[in-house]
Structure formats: C-alpha cells, structure tokens
Amino acid sequence: MPDKDRTSGYLRPELETMDPQARQDYLDGRVAATVAHAHERAPGFQARMEAMDAEPGDITSVADLAKLPVVEKAELINIQRENLPFGGLMAGQMEHIRRIYVSPGPIYEPAERTYADDRWAQALYAGGFRAGDIAQVTFNFNLVPFAFNLDESLNSLGCVSVPAGVGNTELQVQIMKDLGVAGYLGTPSFLSALADKAEALGMDLKKDLNLQVAFVAAEALPSSLRKELEERLGMLVRQSYGTAELNCLSYECMEMGGMHLAQDCVVQICDPETGQEVEPGQVGEVVATIFDHTYPLIRLGTGDLSSLTYDACACGRTAPKMTGWLGRVDQVTKVRGMFVHPSNVQQVAQKFPQVEAFQLVVTRENNQDVMTLVCELAEPGADREELRAGLENELKETLRVKGRVDFQDQGSLPEGCKVIDDQRTWD
C-alpha cells in the first residue's frame, strides 16, 4: 500500500488559508448571527442580555464581544443549577438533540452533530489523519463528550474509528496489531504505556505495529516526550487543545511552534480580571465563543492561560497560534500589572541547569512591586555574575517584568516550596 501524504494540504482550505482581514469580517458576521440566534432561541442568554440592557444589535462583531462578561465554568454550573437542565442556554429543540453529555460539575451538554465536530476534524487532518485510516480512540467514552466527538470527526474524514476507551493496555496493543491501526487518539502518557506494553509482549514497535499518526490532548506534551514517541514508534505526534464544552480551539500543524486557532470559533486571550483582550503576545485567559446552533456558548472562560503569536507559518495556515498551555488562572499572581504564573517561572529556571532549587518572591518596596528569584545552585562555586545576568534577562523576556536574582545557600529553600511566594500585604 503506497504511503499517504500526511504532511500537506488542508481540510478546509478556504477557511484555513484565508486572508486575516477576510477572516475578521467572516468571524464578525458569524458572531452577529450567533448572538441574534441565541437571543431569539435561548431564554437564558436573552435574560442575560436584558440584565445588561443589551440587544443583539449591540453585538455585531468580535470586538463587540468585549461588552459581554466572561462566563467562568463555575458560573456555568450555577446557571444550569438555577434552571435545569441547561440554564436556558439551549437554542435548539429536544427532538434534534442526539446526546446529552455530562462533564464534571456536573455540566449538562446537549449535542447534535454540529460545527463542533468539524473543528476536531481540522485538527485531525492537520495532524496527518487521512481517509481510510483505522484509528483507535483511547479517551473515555463514559458520559463525557470528547471521545464521541473524535469518533464522529474521524468518520467525517473518512477514517474508521475503534472506540477502545481507557485502560486494557494488553488488549489495546493486540487490537492495534491485529487491525493494523494507523492512528492513535489519547494522552501522550497512555501512548507511552502502550509502547511499553507492546515491547513487554515481545513486539517490534515499528514492524508489528503500523502506527503512523497520533492525536494527543488533555495532557502536557514535553518536547522530549514527543521526540521519544516519534522515534520509538516511527510516527507523527501532534497535539490539540480544547475543552469539553467548547470542543477544539486550537491544534498543531506539521510545523509546530504553537497551535493554530481552529476555524469557525472565536478565541480571545483576556485579562482574567477585566475580561478585556490583552495585547498580542501577552499572557491571559483563553476565552472562547462557539457558533454551535444547538448550544451556542458565548464568552466562556476556560480558566487556562495562554498567549497568541501572529508569526506567519510555513504550513500556509493563516490563523494565529496559541503558544501552549501556560497554567491556570487561579494560580496566577499579578506583578507590576503583568500576570505571572508558576509555569512561567519554571520555564525560566529550567533553562539554567545550574539552578537546583528556586522560588519567586514578590514583595513591596516604596509602593512598588519587587520580584526576586531566589536560587540555590548545584555548584556553589559557579560563576554567579554571568548566571545572574542570564537569569535576569530571561525573567524579563519570559515574564515581561524586571526581577532580581538572589543566590542562597543550599538548603535555604524548604523542600517542595511553592513556586511563587507572594509576601505583599495591602493594609
């Protein structure tokens, strides 16, 4: 069987390679139509608009979305509890609903086959899945939507789904071998566990298995793990990002370097305090609006932090890229007006192997925030001045806030100390 071209082409070229200005116009139209539709058909959304004294005509573009508050997941749970089952947010009719999913919360989600599926299909195609592939879905099929949505998106691409679900590593490996499964969908750690199991069963990972592409999500994918999986199994591994309620929001192409925003949804990076969009490149909360006809969700906050990059991508897709998952909003600290997250501090420290332990201490001097990276060194005799300059520069680059570096003796920081120690008091 000839090898398939898995690294070029687009699922929806007219959208994926659209001129950015044309995309802006297109999304403005879709936002206006979605808000009008939700206002007409979803009484809960209508009530929310009325409480703000707003009408559909006030929200006719992506920029206008800033007039609507961000709805956090905890609020969505409350909205539903007050008006079960869907908080008045369903805009379709029950006879058109195919399933009701239940996400942790619980959050109830009415679903018919909609655009949502199509966004995961974009991700799958960009990750190298092609018609005729047999693909094994190892996400959980119990109540939650993700695995079902992937199953449907595979079908829409012409792929064959094996709904394997979680666990049963030995059976999973046998299925892969017996069926010649080409595509894996699951977490990176489970793929790693399957490879270990296959080896333990005496299989040759490249000869006995036919894996070509992996779609991974729901977990961080360190570049070292990606490289290991790709080399070990002789396959492409690409990741995507989304949530149970919003579905796919972004996905990697073959070039990587971030995840392209999916087409047919609006993803905004917003200040977690004000809900307003931050400047390009700055870190903020991922807030999304989806155009689902049955269950339109408008300005839903994910609680996840990320940033956007607008650099042109060699793959030809013109959508900006999310730079990756940078932590959770509830762990964030604001220093000199900038959001600083533990994972960003870790990023800085990890670039310097000489640093054995670290903690970012935030204090206040002369009514100004002061940020100090306290470091313990593996080799106390190392050249501290060069290291200090490097660390200070990296702090400024990554956190966008100037910080000091303070070297302390080994053992000064308590074992397992929190990454950010905010010592500021405000009385």
Which two tokens mark 26?
Answer: 């297109």
We find the least distance from the C-beta atom of residue 257 to Zn ion, in angstroms, to be 8
Give the three-class secondary structure for 380.
coil
395 touches Zn ion by CB under 5 A: no
| N-to-C CA span, the chain | 72
Nearer to Zn ion, 127 or 403 (CB): 127
Q: 137: which DSSP letter?
A: E
Question: Residue 309 forms beta bridges with which residues?
Answer: 321
Q: Minimum distance from CB of 319 to Zn ion (Å)?
A: 8
The token pair at 265 is 């949804």
104 prior amide bond cis, ω within 30: no
Strand partners, 161: 135
| Residue 317 binds to Zn ion (criterion: CB under 5 A) | yes
Let me know: does 184 contact 135? Beta carbons within 8 Å.
Answer: yes
Q: How far is the CB of 115 from Zn ion (least distance, A)?
A: 21
Alpha carbons within 13 angstroms on the beta-carbon side of residue 70 total 22
- Among the listed residues 112, 219, 255, 421, the single contact to Zn ion using CB under 5 A: 255
Distance, in Å, from the CA atom of 108 to the CA atom of 143, rounded to the nearest integer, reads 10
Q: Under the criterion CB under 5 A, does residue 308 sit at the interface with Zn ion?
A: no
For residue 236, state whether it binds Zn ion (rule: CB under 5 A).
no
User: How far is Cα 153 from Cα 44, in angstroms, rounded to an integer?
Assistant: 29
Q: How far apart are the C-alpha atoms of 332 and 192, rounded to whole Å?
A: 31
Is residue 313 at the binding interface for Zn ion, with CB under 5 A as the rule? yes
Q: Which stretch binds Zn ion (CB under 5 A): 292-300, 313-321, 341-349, 366-374?
A: 313-321
String of contacts with Zn ion for each residue 93-132, x by CB under 5 A: ----------------------------------------
Q: By CB under 5 A, how many residues form the interface with Zn ion?
A: 5
Quote the least distance from Cβ 262 to Zn ion, whole Å: 12
Q: Which stretch binds Zn ion (CB under 5 A): 23-31, 254-262, 347-355, 405-413?
A: 254-262
Which class for 389: exposed (0-12), middle (13-18), buried (19 or more C-beta within 10 A)? exposed
Closest C-alpha to 358, from 315, 395, 399, 408: 408
Closest distance of CB 157 from Zn ion, Å = 18
Of 162, 176, 236, 253, the one binding Zn ion (CB under 5 A) is: 253
Residue with smaller CB distance to Zn ion, 258 or 327:
258
Count other Cβ atoms within 10 Å, centred on residue 336: 15
Helices (H), 84-200: 115-126, 146-157, 169-179, 188-200
Q: Which stretch binds Zn ion (CB under 5 A): 69-77, 184-192, 251-259, 380-388?
A: 251-259
Nearer CB in complex with Zn ion: 30/317: 317
Which range binds Zn ion by CB under 5 A, 217-225, 286-294, 317-325, 400-408?
317-325
CB of residue 22 to Zn ion, shortest distance in Å: 18
Which CB atom, from 255 or from 422, has the smaller least distance to Zn ion?
255
**Closer CB to Zn ion, 88 or 127, in the complex:** 127
Give the residues lining the site for Zn ion (CB under 5 A): 253, 255, 313, 315, 317
